[in-house]
Structure 1
Amino acid sequence: MLSGRILTPGGWIDGSIDFGQRISEIRADSSVDTALTILPGFIDLHVHGAAGADIMQGGDAAATIARAHARHGTTAMLGTTMTATDNSIRRALRGMAPVIEQRPAGGARMLGAHLEGPFLSIHRLGAQPADAVVVGSMDLVRSYHELAPIRVMTLATEVADHLALIPQLNALGIRVQIGHSNGTYEDGVAALKAGAAGFTHLYNGMTGLRHQEAGIVGAALAHAEYAEIIPDLQHVQPGAILAALRAIPRLYGITDATSATGMPDGEYGLGSQLVYKCRGCVRLATGSLAGSVLTMDQALRNFVGLGLDLADASNRLSLYPADYLGEAARGRLAPGAWADIVVLDADLQPVAVFVEGEAIDLSSNQP
Structure 2
Amino acid sequence: MLDLSALTELLAQPRRIVITTHHKPDGDAMGSSLGLYNYLIQLGHHAKVIAPSDYPDFLSWMPGNEEVIIYTENTQQSEILIAEAELIFCLDFNALNRINEMGELVRQSPAVKVMIDHHLDPEDFDDFRYWDINACATAQLVYTFIVDALNSKHLINKDVASCLYTGILTDSASFRLPKTTAEVHRIAADLIEAGAVNWRIQELVYNSSSENRLRFLGHCLANKLEVIDEYNTAIISVTKQEMDQYHSVTGDTEGIVNYALSISNVRLAAFIVERSDAVKLSLRSKGEFPANEICKKYFSGGGHRNAAGGRSELPLNEVVELFKSILPNYKKLLIQ
Do both proteins adopt the same fold according to a TM-score greater than 0.5, normalized to the shorter chain?
no
Larger relative helix fraction: 2
Q: Taking CA–CA contacts closer than 8 Å with sequence separation of 6 or more, which of the two structures ends up with the larger relative contact order? A: 1
Give me the TM-score of the superposition, normalised by structure 2: 0.28
Give me the TM-score of the superposition, normalised by structure 1: 0.26
